[in-house]
Amino acid sequence: MIVAKQKPVEEIIEEAKEYDKILLAGCNECVTVCEAGGKKEVAVLASALRMYFMNQGKDLKIDEVTLERQCDHEYLEEIRNTIDQYDAVISLACGVGVQFMAEKYMQMPILPGVDTCFMGVTEERGVWTERCQGCGQCVLAKTGGICPVSRCAKRLFNGPCGGSTKGCCEINKDLLCGWQLIVDRLTELGRLEDYEKLAPIKDWSTERAGGPRKVIREDVRL
């Protein structure tokens, strides 16, 4: 999933204070799972904002809605008939949802309510960690199923570096060394000899470096 975290409420207040009628829009997908922008978080943020502006003596109208997804036309269309009642929308979807809504409703200010962080997993309740950076050319088959791009702080393809210590990364004792994990997995798989194959120089053109990316499937296009 895409993992996000809630923005500090002070930052949201700062962005929202010039508006009188605001729609708070959550998303039922990733941000619900990572407890940053689902129905529950929308409700909590709405009361925090109402409370704050009430204390400031400001009459603010805040409505709440949580869409099935904000990265699909279909669900974003659900607010087409109501959106004009508002001065601004605070979207608690990830950056993708925020932008897709902005593209659709050209005259409406759409403010982000979360900081979008990474693609990752729920490691345990309340702890989310990164697993993939969408490099566009997956090498997991060669690295025991552990990603050197997202899990090594230096994105080394022939790690581990000299700073790997007791299973942890040189940059932080609380961070597992991705290359230790790769070596452990290759050992478990009985494929440690794969470690000695030199990883070729990466083609980063399928990654961020190549500019905004696009995937097209002619066979499923309408």
Partner 1 sequence: MKTKTPSKLEKIIRAGHLAVTSECGPPRGSDAEAITKKAEMIKDHVDAINVTDNQTSMTRLSSLASCIHLKLMGLEPTLQMVTRDRNRIALQSDILGAASFDIYNILCLSGDHQQFGDSPTGQNVFDLDSMQLVQTVKLMRDEGKFLGGDEIKRPPKMFIGAAANPFADPFEIRVPRLAKKVAAGAEFIQTQCIYNLEKFELWMKLVRDRGLHEKVAILAGVTPFKTAGMAKYMKNRVPGMDVPDEVVKRMADVPKEKQADEGINICVETIQRLKECEGVRGFHVMAIEWEEKVPEIVERSGLYPRPVLKTDN
162 binds partner 1 (CB under 8 A): yes
Which one, 109 or 136, has the nearer CB to ligand SF4? 136
**Size of the residue set binding ligand SF4 (CB under 6 A):** 24
Which residues, numbered 9-48, are part of the site for ligand SF4 (CB under 6 A)? none
Q: How far apart are CA 208 and CA 72, in angstroms?
A: 22
How many Cβ atoms are within 10 Å of 65's Cβ, its own excluded? 15
Which residues, numbered 128-157, are part of the site for ligand SF4 (CB under 6 A)? 132-135, 138-140, 147, 149-150, 152-154, 156
Which one, 26 or 178, has the nearer CB to ligand SF4? 178
Which one, 19 or 179, has the nearer CB to ligand SF4? 179
Stretch that binds partner 1, among 5-13, 53-61, 91-99, 170-178 (CB under 8 A): 170-178
How many Cβ atoms are within 10 Å of 183's Cβ, its own excluded? 19
DSSP per position, 23-76: EEEEESSHHHHTTSSSHHHHHHHHHHHHHHHHHTT---EEEEEEES-SSSHHHH
Which one, 28 or 122, has the nearer CB to ligand SF4? 122
Question: From ligand SF4, partner 1, none, which one binds at residue 42 (CB under 5 to 8 Å depending on kind)?
Answer: none
Provide φ and ψ at 58, rounded to 5°.
Answer: -105, 135
3-class DSSP state of 163: coil
Q: Are 38 and 64 in contact (CB under 8 A)?
A: no
Question: From ligand SF4, partner 1, none, which one binds at residue 220 (CB under 5 to 8 Å depending on kind)?
Answer: none
Angle at 52 between CA 48 and CA 57, to 5 degrees: 145
Binding site for ligand SF4 (CB under 6 A): 132-135, 138-140, 147, 149-150, 152-154, 156, 159-161, 163-164, 169-170, 177-179
